[in-house]
Each structure stands twice: as C-alpha cells, then as structure tokens.
Amino acid sequence: MANPQRSPVRGIGDMNIRIAAIVAGLAFVGALHSITGAQEAQRTVWDGVYTEEQAKRGKEIYAQVCSKCHATDLSGVDEAPALSGGAFLANWGGLTVGDLSERVRISMPPNNKGKLSRQQIADVLSHVMNVNGFPPGKTEMDSKTEVLRQIRIESTKPKANSGS
C-alpha cells in the first residue's frame, strides 16, 4: 500500500531533476548570449568609426543645416543644446551612434525634418565625433541604423580596449 504513494513522490523527484537540467541549460544559453552581446557592443567611438574625409563633408552639411541653431563650434545657442562637450556626452554616454542618428533623423532640423539622407546624417555625425575628440579611422561611418547601433558612445576611452 505504501508503493502507490511513493511513486508519485519519486515522479516529482525525477521531474525536479529534469526541470533543474532545463533551467541550467537555459542559464547556459543565456550566458552565451550575454557574452556574444557584450562583444558586439564592444566597438566604441574610440575605435576610428569614421574617416577624416567624411568629417569634412559633414562639417559643410553642418554649417549649412545645423550651425545656425547649434553654433558653428557645436556649443549650442539658446534652446538648441551643445553637440559637444561634457553635457552632450553625459546625455549620450552609454547610448549608441545609432540612437543619436535616429534622434537627428526623426527630429532635426526641427523646421525641416527628414531633410537629410541617412548618408548625410552619418557625415554630420562624423563631424560631431571629430569635434568631440573621437579619432578618425580608415572606414567611413555606415549610414544604416542597425550598424550604428553597434557603436557605443563613451566619453572616456575604455581601458580594456586594446584597439589600434
């Protein structure tokens, strides 16, 4: 008579082991994901994410489209905030160049949204990166938001970064 009572208990025991195995498996997959995720986001604005040539093009576009509000030196005027320096980097630090490009694409210039193509926005942002002291590199900044979302904005150069 004891047996019929025992076996369900046993059954639950087996199930617990199975659940434990599944949970451990999921945790492992989760850990893998976060490792690869961290590697993807490892690229920062310190890794040469635009070219000097591109920043020059961006400077011209900036002068025509943005400077009357944000000032020629990006220091901001009245309502229009600075696009360089401590406050700007405090706003955007930890976010990505993709976030910044979307912000510009959706809302700037306020009186003529959508005026700039994605390519022109990438060029303008190259100029912005340049003025903020992030170094140019050998490859132009991509115009695709998904690609730009893999470049993190960091106000100070990450120590772990052994980049060239």
Contact residues for ligand HEC, defined by CB under 6 A: 65-66, 68-70, 79-81, 83, 88, 91, 100, 103-104, 107-111, 116, 124
| Burial letters 124-155, b for 16+ CB under 10 A, else e | bbbbbbbbbebbbbeebbbbebebbbbbbbbb
Please, which residue, 65 or 147, has the CB nearer to ligand HEC? 65
Q: How far is the CB of 153 from ligand HEC (least distance, A)?
A: 11
Q: Distance from CA of residue 96 to its chain's centroid?
A: 2
Q: How far is the CB of 155 from ligand HEC (least distance, A)?
A: 13
Please state, in angstroms and rounded to a whole number, the distance separating the CA atoms of residues 159 and 30.
26
Please, which residue, 99 or 157, has the CB nearer to ligand HEC? 99
Q: How far is the CB of 50 from ligand HEC (least distance, A)?
A: 14
Dihedral over alpha carbons 58, 63, 69, 73 (to 10 degrees)? 80
Please, which residue, 42 or 71, has the CB nearer to ligand HEC? 71
Structure tokens of 83? 């696009």
Q: How far is the CB of 126 from ligand HEC (least distance, A)?
A: 11
Please, which residue, 102 or 135, has the CB nearer to ligand HEC? 102
| Burial letters 3-19, b for 16+ CB under 10 A, else e | eeeeeeeeeeeeeeeee
Q: How far is the CB of 146 from ligand HEC (least distance, A)?
A: 19
Please, which residue, 69 or 147, has the CB nearer to ligand HEC? 69
Please state, in angstroms and rounded to a whole number, the distance separating the CA atoms of residues 123 and 121.
5
